[in-house]
Amino acid sequence: MTDNMKKVVKFGGSSLADAGQFAKVKEIIMADSARRFVVPSAPGKRFSGDTKVTDLLLNSQAASSKGEDWESIFSIAEDRYRGIIADLGLSVSLEDEFAVIRENLKKGCTKDYAASRGEYLNGILLADYLGYEFIDAASVVFFDKDGNFDAAKTNRVMGHVLESCENAVIPGFFGSGVNGEVITFSRGGSDITGAIVARAVCADVYENWTDVSGFLMADPRIVENPKPINIITYRELRELAYMGASVLHEDAIFPVKMAGIPINIKNTNDPSASGTRIVATTEQYQNEYIITGIAGKKGFSLINIEKDMMNSELGFGMNVLKVLCDMGISFEHLPSGIDTMSVVVAESAVKGKERDILSRISALVSPDNIDIEKGIALIAVVGRGMIRTQGTACRVFDSLAREGVNIRMIDQGSSELNIIIGVEEKDFDAAIRTIYNEFVS
């Protein structure tokens, strides 16, 4: 390894779930002196049915805010750390930290503060175990007065702090707001911190260590033994991550993409597996399959609107979207025909507002028919190779038709990087398996 090479390594919750996993992580870090900056998550599940420390902390906060017994939940989280300290034979103690957190939980701390302590405590532990410096994320990751991530300030301050650091552990998932209060990213947000650190130190690569050997062509909980993706572009990955391929938080792409830093997804439990490389362009690499991957999410609704000659009515679509905009509802997709249009929205965004939406749209555009269809799942078929290959969409639809899956909506992104299909939620798994088998195998 070249002496001045810099790698930022992020380890997810399952990679740090217990002492055995901590030992694997140390071995990985020590095997390469370029692995100088480490971003840990909170301890995750050790087995199926186990509870992540982040959830224990959120549950403690929720119980405390309702005046219920929070201490018994919090003590389970404390014991997770105590167990790791004992099993690794560390001399560090977290007891003073626990006391501070207990005090804050009792006083009524925010959800963000409670959730963030999982990474914070794990960072202190991991830094001690590695002999690395611990840097509190609250002192190097910043949010603005509206609670949005402040990239410029963070990059400036973090870059400056880490410049004088040979090795450091920076906990993932949180930072601080303008009044010093703790603010977290959304769930899975340690991936974002890793990307931010990679950008701040101008890393050569951002390694994201998890519990699978890279990004797979489909969710392994749905397709048995899906093939790994060797190389993928940032854009393809963002499409897949956004649509539920939860391996990497979708917002973790921006900081590294901006700086042109490749991401490498690796498996803590199988470090020699090559994993997935995420890069800006793949011109030099040929993909084995036409599609790169498939991902999907449940929980959408379709607002279906029909009106003869709709396409010649100036401002029709704009008026429909205006209603949603006025009601604070954002939309996901907007497939349309000559006399029909559908607006795909998250079910959670329209819950309880259905009648209001229907009456407001009806009043504004007088449709012939309008209804809201719930229980829709969206599936994204993503691939940079689709643009050059005719008939990909056809193969998707034919295979689904043969399987008896009813397609409720189709939308092909203008980039031709993806095809989005809406199906009924009951058909979700079958549709993903069918598309996978059509293109892979």
Nearer to ligand ASP, 55 or 438 (CB): 55
Q: Which residue of the chain is nearest ligand ADP when measured via CB?
A: 12
Choosing from 6, 26, 102, 187, the residue that interacts with ligand ASP (CB under 6 A) is: 187
User: Residue 136 to residues 53, 99, 161, 436: CA-CA distances in angstroms?
Assistant: 18, 18, 11, 43
As to burial, measured by CB atoms within 10 angstroms (0-12 exposed, 13-18 middle, 19+ buried), residue 346 is middle
Enumerate the H helices of 342-382 as residue ranges: 347-350, 354-365
β strands within 214-309, DSSP E:
231-233, 263-267, 276-279, 293-306
The least CB distance from residue 191 to ligand ASP, in Å, is 6
The least CB distance from residue 65 to ligand ASP, in Å, is 19
β strands within 280-367, DSSP E:
293-306, 340-346
**Site of interaction with Mg ion (CB under 5 A):** 12, 188
22 binds ligand ASP (CB under 6 A): no
Choosing from 7, 8, 9, 14, the residue that interacts with ligand ADP (CB under 6 A) is: 14
The least CB distance from residue 90 to ligand ASP, in Å, is 21
CA–CA dist 74, 71 (Å, integer): 5
The least CB distance from residue 425 to ligand ASP, in Å, is 24
Contact between 120 and 112 under an 8 Å Cβ cutoff? The reply is: no
Nearer to ligand ADP, 176 or 276 (CB): 276
DSSP string, 136-152: -GGGT-BB-TTS-B-HH
Choose one: 94-102, 185-193, 227-235, 367-375; the region binding ligand ASP (CB under 6 A). 185-193
The least CB distance from residue 358 to ligand ASP, in Å, is 36
Q: Coil, strand, or helix at residue 344?
A: strand
* The 340-346 sheet, strands edge to edge: 340-346, 293-306, 369-382, 418-424, 407-412
Tokens 């892979």 belong to residue: 440
Backbone torsions φ then ψ of 310, nearest 5 degrees: -55, -35
Choose one: 183-191, 310-318, 405-413, 422-430; the region binding ligand ASP (CB under 6 A). 183-191
By a kind-dependent CB cut-off of 5 to 8 A, residue 52 interacts, out of ligand ADP, Mg ion, ligand ASP, none, with ligand ASP
- x-or-dash pattern for ligand ASP, window 35-64, by CB under 6 A? ------xx---------x-x----------
264 binds ligand ASP (CB under 6 A): no
Q: Report the C-alpha dihedral over residues 237, 241, 244, 247, rounded to 10 degrees.
A: 100
∠ CA(129), CA(130), CA(133), 5° rounding? 105
By a kind-dependent CB cut-off of 5 to 8 A, residue 118 interacts, out of ligand ASP, ligand ADP, Mg ion, none, with ligand ASP
Q: What is the CA radius of gyration of the chain?
A: 24
Distance of CA 48 to the CA centre of its chain: 20
Q: Which residue of the chain is nearest Mg ion when measured via CB?
A: 188
- Provide the residue type at 154 as one letter: T
190 binds ligand ASP (CB under 6 A): yes
12 binds ligand ADP (CB under 6 A): yes
263 binds ligand ASP (CB under 6 A): no
Choosing from 40, 123, 171, 172, the residue that interacts with ligand ASP (CB under 6 A) is: 172
Contact between 362 and 399 under an 8 Å Cβ cutoff? The reply is: no
173 binds ligand ASP (CB under 6 A): yes
The least CB distance from residue 116 to ligand ASP, in Å, is 9
The least CB distance from residue 41 to ligand ASP, in Å, is 4
State the residues that interact with ligand ASP by CB under 6 A: 12-13, 41-42, 52, 54, 118, 172-173, 187-191
State the residues that interact with ligand ADP by CB under 6 A: 12-15, 41, 44, 188, 210-212, 215-216, 218-221, 245-247, 293
